Every structure is written in C-alpha cells, then in structure tokens.
C-alpha cells in the first residue's frame, strides 16, 4: 500500500486541472504578448484565469500578478516594501517559511532593516499584544506573518493583524500559501497590502503562484524585461500553469466545505488513534480546530534509538510524510520551527498533512506501521 501524507509540501495534480492544461497545450500555443490571432487567444486565456482567481478572492483582476510561485511572490513583497516605501524596520516570527525568514535575515545582514520577532506562546501562536508593542516603539514597519504555519498548522488571525497594522500605518504582508483554497479569502475587506498564493498546494501545477498587491500602494518591477504582467514582471507567462491554477482554485472553492469536513475528520481520527496506539505522543502546535489548519498534524513521538530513521521506516512501508526534530545545541540541522517552540530535540517529530484524496484506510495502515516501529524499539 502506498500512502501520501505530505500534502503540505505539494499536492497531487487534480485530473480535471490536468485535462484543462493539456487542452491548452495542444490547442493554444501562441505567445500571449503577440498581437496576432494566436497570441490574442492565449492572452484571453491568461486574463480569464486572472479574473477567475480575482473573483474568488473578492478583488479586482488588476490586483493579481502571476509569479513562479510563493517564494518569488514573498521576495517581491518584502523587497519592494523596503525599496519602495523606505521601510527600515520589519517584524516577523521565528516560525515563518524560509522564503520570508531568510529574505528578512539577509536584509538585516545588509543593514537595510532592523528585524524584530514577535513573541510566540508555548504552542507557537502569535502574541498580538507584543505585536502592538513592537509597532508602537518604531517608525513605519513591515509586518510579515503567514496565515498558517506549514509545519505546525497554527492559524494566525490575519484580520486582526491587518487591523493592528492599519492602526500603526504598517505595511502588512501575509503568505497564505497553505490556506489558499482551504479557507475563503476576502481581499477587498482584508487589511493587507500583499497576499501570496501558490497553485501546487491545492491540486494545481507546480511553478506558478501569484502576488496580490493592494490597490492603495504601488511597487516597482522586481524582474525587468518585457511588459508582461502590466509591466510588473518581465518574462513570458507560464500560460499552462496560470490556467491550471485558476481551474484548481475554482474546484477548491466549489467543494471547500465538503473537503474541509472530510479532511478534519481524518485528522481528528488519526490524532485520537495515535494516542491509543502509542503512549506518550504529543501534538506540536494548536489542537483547537478553530486555531489549526485542518490539513496539518505534527506529532512528537517518544524518544527512540536512531530517531532520524523514523521517516525512513515510514518510507520503506510506502508512507510519505515529512518531519525531523528541533535543532540541537550548536547545530544548524533540524527544524527552525520546532526549535522556536522549544520542542525536545531528542524526540522525533513527523508532519502528516492531508488532502481530499486521503482515506480512513490509509490512516489505519499508517498507524499500524507506526505502532510496529515503536513496539520494536
């Protein structure tokens, strides 16, 4: 049996999305920047996809810019804020994705910004009062906080963060890669300047994402070249990816509640059954379903010899998941997220992440194999 439980890393391509993309590949090969008929029909496909995504997110198509993925979009938002708005202070958390964390760390090393970290509680959730304190004590700041943590699943109240940022005239950027297609995003009413999404986290293709830019601000191009993306990003558009992205988001929104109910049931079931099967497991991150992304479950397992072999044992049994442990003292190897929440570095952790394609039988099989591993240790 083969079980895929690493959907927070990437999801299988939806068959309907694939069919849509193949149709475009076969029948629409013009360059969308060309003015002849072949080019114009492809330009129409790109703009139709932009309108679909914008409509689902309740914003105008002009506010959506296609990118190569979440990392490029995050970099664009952060670096544009520093360069175009004169920001010299940024606030983030120590559990952000590396696309955000490493970018901000580099800017601090280059002495372009002062970098502050908002406090986290024992579960890894944001201290909103401390965020206000950091904003009170500095000039205009950039706040970069993700909607859902990709390792723990913790949800940040981005509506609340947006309100706080507005109060202190801060620029607010949020990476919503893990939550796009799983929650409704109302960009017209969300007080955010930048929002980021990527197709491959919601059964769309890899290599395509978007950056939402609030119409109240203007940024300069980050990739210079042609006039693509309304002069904001040079380079021929990934037409197949863009069309696939729009189709994937359309499917996700059509069946969102049903998928959420199914996946949350699987997550809760696995949590309960693991507690029965393996004594002394712990859950990293929030356990309240209202504060946790329903597709992610991070389990802290008991200490074991050769803990780094746990994922290998799962893999040889046909189970794909991801994880690791907190960084040991003096070591850079390990999860910066688990280190930030002071997880025990001697206990292995595994992130199981689910999709609409997973089944109860797969969960039972995974628990059975995990139980075998810990009965032998």
Q: What is the residue-wise DSSP string for 155-171?
A: BP-HHHHHHHHHHTT-E
CB 68 within 8 A of CB 209: yes
Domain boundaries along the sequence of the chain: 3-11+255-376, 15-254
For residue range 68-87, what is the model confidence (pLDDT) as tens digits? Answer: 999 999 999 999 999 999 99
Question: How does pLDDT run across 336-360, given as a tens digit for each residue?
Answer: 999 999 988 889 999 999 999 999 9
Is residue 305 pLDDT above 90, yes or no?
no
Determine the pLDDT at residue 139: 85
Nearest 5 degrees, angle CA 178-CA 313-CA 321? Answer: 5
Q: Which of 155, 186, 158 is nearest to 253 (CA)?
A: 186
- Cβ-count burial of 334 within 10 angstroms (0-12 exposed, 13-18 middle, 19+ buried)? middle
Alpha helices in 176-238 (DSSP H): 228-231
List helix spans (H) across 31-188.
Answer: 37-56, 70-85, 98-109, 128-136, 158-167
- Residue 304: pLDDT band by 50, 70, 90 thresholds? confident
The greatest distance separating any two alpha carbons of the chain, rounded to the nearest whole angstrom, comes to 68
Tell me, what's the pLDDT at 218? 95
Is 165 a catalytic site residue?
A: no
User: What pLDDT does residue 306 have?
Assistant: 65
What is the rounded CA–CA span in Å between residue 244 and residue 43?
15
Q: Any idea which architecture 15-254 has in CATH?
A: 3-Layer(aba) Sandwich (3.40)
According to DSSP, residue 114 is labeled E
The per-residue b/e assignment along 95-132, b for 16 or more CB within 10 angstroms, e otherwise, is: bbbebbbebbeebeeeebbebbbbebeebbbbebeebe
Topology match between the domains 3-11+255-376 and 15-254? no
DSSP lists the bridge partners of residue 117 as 92
In degrees and rounded to multiples of 5, residue 241 shows phi and psi of -65, -40
Residue with tokens 């139980």: 371
Distance between CA atoms of 194 and 181, rounded to whole angstroms?
17
CATH of 3-11+255-376, one of 3.90.1150.10, 3.40.1190.10, 3.40.50.720, 3.30.830.10: 3.90.1150.10
Residue 239 Cα distances to 47, 65, 66, 265, 353, angstroms: 10, 13, 10, 36, 29
Euclidean distance between CA atoms 154 and 170, whole angstroms: 23
Whole-angstrom Cα distance, residue 19 to residue 303?
A: 46
Instruction: Give the integer Cα–Cα distance in Å for 181 and 201.
Output: 8
Tokens in use for 102? 């490493």
Q: Which of 131-135, 277-281, 301-305 has the lowest mean pLDDT?
A: 301-305
pLDDT for 13 beyond 70: yes
Mean pLDDT of the chain: 94
Mean predicted confidence (pLDDT) in 238-251: 98
243 has a pLDDT exceeding 80 = yes
**List 9, 327, 367, 373, catalytic entry:** 327
Q: Above 90 in pLDDT, residue 309?
A: no
Whose tokens are 């129409």? That residue is 44
* 15 confidence band (pLDDT: 50, 70, 90): very high
């Amino acid at each position: 049996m083969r079980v895929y439980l690493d959907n927070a890393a990437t999801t299988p391509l939806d068959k309907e999305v694939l069919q849509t993309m193949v149709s475009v590949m076969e029948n629409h090969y013009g360059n969308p920047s060309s003015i002849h008929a072949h080019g114009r029909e492809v330009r129409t496909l790109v703009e139709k996809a932009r309108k679909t995504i914008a409509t689902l997110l309740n914003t105008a198509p002009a506010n959506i810019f296609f990118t190569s993925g979440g990392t490029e979009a995050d970099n664009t938002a952060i670096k544009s804020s520093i360069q175009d708005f004169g920001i010299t202070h940024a606030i983030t958390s120590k559990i952000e994705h590396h696309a955000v964390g490493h970018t901000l760390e580099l800017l601090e090393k280059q002495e372009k910004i002062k970098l502050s970290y908002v406090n986290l509680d024992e579960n890894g959730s944001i201290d909103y009062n401390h965020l206000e304190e950091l904003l009170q004590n500095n000039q205009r700041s950039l706040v970069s906080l993700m909607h859902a943590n990709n390792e723990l699943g913790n949800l940040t109240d981005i509506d609340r963060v947006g309100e706080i940022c507005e109060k202190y005239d801060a620029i607010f950027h949020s990476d919503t890669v893990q939550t796009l297609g799983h929650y409704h995003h109302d960009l017209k009413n969300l007080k955010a300047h930048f929002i980021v999404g990527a197709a491959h986290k919601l059964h769309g293709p890899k290599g395509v994402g978007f950056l939402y830019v609030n119409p109240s601000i203007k940024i300069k191009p980050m990739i210079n070249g042609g006039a693509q993306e309304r002069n904001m990003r040079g380079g021929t558009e990934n037409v197949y990816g863009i069309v696939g992205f729009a189709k994937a988001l359309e499917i996700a929104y059509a069946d969102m509640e049903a998928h959420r109910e199914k996946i949350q049931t699987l997550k809760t079931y696995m949590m309960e059954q693991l507690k029965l099967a393996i004594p002394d497991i712990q859950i990293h991150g929030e356990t309240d379903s209202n504060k946790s992304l329903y597709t992610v479950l991070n389990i802290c397992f008991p200490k074991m010899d050769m803990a780094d072999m746990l994922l290998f044992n799962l893999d040889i049994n046909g189970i794909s998941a991801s994880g690791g442990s907190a960084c040991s003292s003096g070591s850079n190897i390990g999860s910066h997220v688990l280190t930030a929440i002071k997880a025990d570095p001697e206990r292995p952790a595994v992130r199981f992440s689910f999709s609409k394609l997973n089944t109860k039988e797969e969960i039972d099989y995974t628990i059975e194999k995990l139980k075998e591993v810990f009965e032998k240790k």
